[in-house]
A = this chain, B = another copy of it.
Amino acid sequence: MKQEHIDQIMAAAKAVKAKKNVNHIYMVACGGSKALFDPAQYIFDRETDIPATVYSSNEFVHRAPKALGEDSVVITCSHSGNTPETVKATEVARAKGATTICFSHLTDSPLWNAAEYPIHYNWSDESDASDYNNAALYSLVFHILNELAPNEKYERAIKCVENVPELFKRNVEKFAASAKQFGEDYKREPMIYTMASGANYGVAYSFAICLLMEMQWIHSHAIHSGEYFHGPFECTDYDVPFIIIKGLDECRPLDERAHAFCQKYSKRITLIDAAQFDMTGVDEDLRGYFCPLVVGVVLRKYADEIADHRGHPLSVRRYMWRMEY
């Protein structure tokens, strides 16, 4: 990660510590950026008793949680830095005295200027992946935790972020053939469910609403592996396609149970079992937390392949960028 970005992250983490009595960490964004925050919320839930919640930006603005105020920390993210709902959420939070931190690929964007502590991240094929939005977010999360309650585990986690580029490269290669097969096998499906729990639910959500719905116009829904048995499983049938993620965190038993049932009645399951990931470079006790990052890049290859087999590039839109809404 670039020193400039580490400096921005550390300044933000120190500002959180300076609050002394943080009452709530709000993580606020839209769509894929919102989904990024899901594993961070999981980590905060397990590591600190400070409440952490993820909101879609416009819901946050209109809901206006009563606890939002000077003791709050609000972390926002928008790739372009132009998402109006997220800029507004940051402005509302800052006006209420909260410490505002934002992630954006574009500096000097409206979001960049709205937050007190803006953090830049890289985004291109040539970028160091430890500088991506999700890796930068992990660095911030562990820096915040380490400022609040110093712990060698958090220091190790910060170091592991530097190994993310190799982690991504190895696992994308490892799953290249499976991704290609997926593209061929599923190119004619009008609807594909995703399923996950724990730290990985956000990746399943992001794949459903951004990769499948937005970029492929394939209907989808991210089913929570625990909720599956309380409604959705009745839709399971031999020809209903599911992408099931089995994670490495404490919720893995939920994914295992859902997969065990689902494979009895659906012949169209694509399993991403994180137990098959090569997690070299991430300490054993941190693998559950880092797993969603790897699921994300692996699934991106699945999306690339299905797009290729369907002749529908991931960059095509019919509404976004083409009209006002």
A178 within 8 A of B: no
CA distance A62 to B53 in the complex (A): 18
A297 within 8 A of B: no
Number of copies: 2
A306 to chain B, nearest CB (A): 15
Q: Is the CB of B250 within 8 A of A235?
A: no
CA distance A182 to B210 in the complex (A): 30
A313 within 8 A of B: no
Partner of A226 from the list B57, B227, B320, B325 (CB cut-off 8 Å) is B57
Residues of B within 8 A of A20 (CB): none
Q: Is the CB of A63 within 8 A of B251?
A: yes
A220 within 8 A of B: yes
| Selected interface stretch from A9-17, A28-36, A107-115, A274-282 | A28-36
Residues of B within 8 A of A56 (CB): 197, 224, 226-227, 230
| Selected interface stretch from A43-51, A90-98, A166-174 | A43-51
Q: Is the CB of A62 within 8 A of B253?
A: yes
Partner of A197 from the list B50, B59, B197, B227 (CB cut-off 8 Å) is B59
Q: Is the CB of A34 within 8 A of B230?
A: yes
A79 to chain B, nearest CB (A): 11
| Selected interface stretch from A126-134, A136-144, A156-164, A211-219 | A211-219
Residues 191 to 241 of chain A near chain B (Cβ within 8 Å): 191, 197-198, 208-210, 213-215, 217-221, 224, 226-227, 229-237, 240
**With A46-B65, A66-B48 in contact, do A34 and B214 touch (Cβ < 8 Å)?**
no
Q: Is the CB of B53 within 8 A of A51?
A: yes
A25 to chain B, nearest CB (A): 10
A242 to chain B, nearest CB (A): 12
A58 within 8 A of B: yes
A42 to chain B, nearest CB (A): 7
A226 to chain B, nearest CB (A): 4
Q: Is the CB of A67 within 8 A of B49?
A: yes
Residues of B within 8 A of A49 (CB): 23, 66-67, 69
Residues of B within 8 A of A85 (CB): 226
18 A–B contact pairs at CB < 8 A?
A: A30-B230, A31-B229, A32-B231, A34-B227, A45-B63, A48-B66, A49-B66, A49-B69, A51-B51, A51-B67, A56-B197, A59-B226, A62-B198, A62-B250, A62-B254, A213-B232, A234-B319, A236-B319
